[in-house]
Amino acid sequence: MDFKQLAKDVVEQIGGISNISQVRNCSTRLRFDLKDYSLVNEDKLKKIKGVAGVVNKGGQFQVIIGTEVAHVREEIEKLGSIVQGDKGVGQKGDKGGVINTVLDVICGSVTPVIPAFIAGGLFKAVLSLFVLFNLVSKTDQTYVLMNTIADATFYFMPILVAYAASKKFNCSTILSMTVAAILLHPNLIALRTAAKPVHFFNIPVVMANYSSSIIPSILAVWFLSYVERFAERVTPKIVKVFVKPLLILAIVAPVTLIVLGPIGSIIGNGLTNVFIFLDGIGTWIVPTLIGFVYPLLVMTGMHWSLMPIFLQQIAKQGYETLSGPGALASNTAQAAASLCVAIKTKNIEKRQLASSVGLTALMGITEPAMFGVTLTNKKILACVMAGGGIGGFFAGITHLVRYAPGGASVETLPLYIGANPMNFIYAILTVIISFVCTFVFTWIFGYREDKVSEVEKVDNVSEIQNIKVPYVNGDVIIHSPVKGKIVDISEVPDPVFAEKMMGEGVAILPESDIICSPVKGRVLQVFETKHAVALKSDDDLEIIIHIGLETVNLKGEGFQVLVKEGDEVNIGKELVKVDLQFLKNKGINPITSVIIVNHENRIITKSLGDKNIEDSIMQIAN
């Protein structure tokens, strides 16, 4: 992959480097804060080679790249200086502004420190294995030191989050981390341990446990960002270097201890207690729900909202049941659906894509599978959700837990190793159950190559099956160019046609090798690769006949053109001879699209179903 060119292409379609307020990445996505969202060209972005999809949710514009995303971000940063500025102008969907902003802040404050959480979590898993195989004892000093290394990430989580949040709010990193460090100071812990009332100038201070917390730090840094701007304005230049930080700390630290810290602690603990309560009602409830809806959460970015809660749960209980078990089932389901499509499809390119993203999903990176396979077909998405829900249910009834954060995949199964040896076995069984169920569902119900359904109404287009459409004076009739089954253009498994980017029309599953003219007129263009012909009818309709999917890559092989540009044609005139057996051997879908480029929103009546050559398939009202 040419990271430099990909970075240049992406930046060009989001309005240029000057439109970027901030860019960062998670495991698969570029996450942009933009100054003017109206400058983004989503359609062209989606067509860039190397872009798996785009998402405009959670107050961010996200571009899905895959596991090489960090290299692309580095190349973007080399293209020019990214200047912080006002953002969000022209963004669609502002109705959910508060929720989007909260998700954006959580994501921006947590994403940069995920590597530390993963390292700490995996270190805990290794330590659990050492204990399981009697390599160390919990009374050994070696165990104590190793446990300290593993716990440090979680204990000092407020400081790490403060660092990332300062980047998000564009304020002093050092002062942000200092305020977070205050929450973890031994003197504060001693006051809390003493269990006596604490006051600050006669103002009562609630003594909360801030270790392993996230929300108090985010609130503190958010407040600091405003205080810093205030201090910048009111502090004289001659004493700014020492008075400004003193003023910031003198305001932010007490407010954090008295107000923001306790509020953040209540929110974090309250949300955690809700899920602990649900677990008490039935251990299957949360994993089943998460396993079922997790693709939708990832698609919208809502899955980030779970992180503060399950990190609090780990800190409080030593394990979590909110995200890990259900996400493990769901991510496995994504992989199973993609690999099923890879095995079942005859399209070479689709097979390569589905197999690649399927294996990536097994490793926990599901966005390529989601945007490349799952979301392209509602039935496949339903199969993934059903398989994930079943796997989540099994995880719930066996009380599967994850002992540390760090992903939910085959690769991170060691995170499920802990005090209960059977927990790891249950994790493996969850993977197997989710995979098998989803694979079977997708094979039987989810993926049907070349099988399309008929739609009763599409905008201003009415469709009639197996009815000869009578000619009405002044109307234009389009005839079938080949014998076969007529389906609506929206059912073509290619968004260029299905989303009517080229125009309105129908598609045909051809049963004959000869493609004929559907109208009386002349040949406008014969494409160099012989897979398509453009016509202009005597009624001035411009029509494109496109034979097969991705047939441009054949460079004319398997096609014989029987006309040339400028030729006059009548209805039924032979245009192209195509070797259908050759296409079948190549694993290429021969579905042939008949597109009216300049229909100008006129009413089009379509006649679907099995048709012979020259039967009426469309009637365009004048």
pLDDT digits (tens, 9 = 90+) for 267-278: 877 776 777 787
Query: Which of the 8 DSSP states describes residue 111?
Result: G
Lowest mean pLDDT among 201-205, 266-270, 347-351: 347-351
Bridge partners (DSSP) of residue 479 are 616
β-strand pairing of 198-200 with 542-547: unpaired
Q: Show the tokens assigned to 160.
A: 């790490």
The two beta strands, 592-596 and 504-510, are antiparallel
Catalytic residue among 26, 383, 437, 516: 26
452 band by pLDDT with thresholds 50, 70 and 90: very low
Tens-place pLDDT, residues 212-261: 788 899 999 999 999 999 999 999 989 989 899 999 999 999 999 999 99
Predicted local confidence at residue 443, as pLDDT: 92
Question: What is the reported pLDDT for 87?
Answer: 47
Task: DSSP letter for 19, please.
Answer: G
What is the pLDDT averaged over residues 365-369? 74
Average pLDDT for 52-62: 71
- Return the pLDDT at 453: 35
Q: What is the pTM of this model?
A: 0.55
Residue 317 has pLDDT above 70, yes or no: yes
* pLDDT for the residue 51: 82
φ/ψ of residue 415, rounded to 5: -70, -15
Instruction: Identify the pLDDT of residue 457.
Output: 37
CA 75 – CA 9 distance, rounded (Å): 11
Q: Detail the DSSP E strand segments found in 321-479.
A: 457-458, 461-465, 476-479
CB under 8 Å to 77, separation ≥6 — which residues? 23
Which CATH class name applies to 457-620?
Answer: mainly beta
Q: What is the model's pLDDT at position 155? A: 87
- Residue 218's nearest CA partner among 94, 104, 84 is 104
pLDDT over 70 (residue 622): no
Three-class DSSP category at 322: coil
- Rounded Cα distance between 521 and 569, Å, is 5
Rg (CA), the chain: 30
| Six token digits for residue 397 | 């009834």
Q: Which two tokens stand for residue 415?
A: 């995170």
pLDDT of residue 302: 66
- The residues of the chain that CATH labels 2.70.70.10 are 457-620
Please tell me the chain's helix, strand, coil percentages from 3-state DSSP, rounded to the nearest 5.
55, 15, 30
pLDDT category of residue 593 using cuts at 50, 70 and 90: very high
Annotated active-site residue 26? The verdict is yes
Pick the CATH number of 3-92 from 3.30.1360.60, 3.40.50.150, 3.30.420.10, 3.40.640.10: 3.30.1360.60
Q: Amino acid letter at 326?
A: G
- Stretch(es) of the chain classified as CATH 3.30.1360.60: 3-92
Q: Which residues have C-beta within 8 Å of that of residue 170, sequence separation ≥ 6?
A: 84, 225
pLDDT tens, residue by residue, 557-592: 999 999 998 899 999 999 999 999 888 888 888 999
Strands (E) across 137-220 are located at: 198-200, 203-205
User: Over 567-614, what HEC string results?
Assistant: CEECCCCEEEEECHHHHHHCCCCCCEEEEECCCCCCCEEEEEEEECCC
Q: Is the pLDDT of residue 380 over 80?
A: yes
Confidence of residue 301 (pLDDT cuts 50, 70, 90): low
Residue 547: the pLDDT is 93
Q: Which of 329-343 are b and which e, b meaning 16 or more Cβ less than 10 Å from the residue's Cβ?
A: bbbbbbbbbbbbbbe
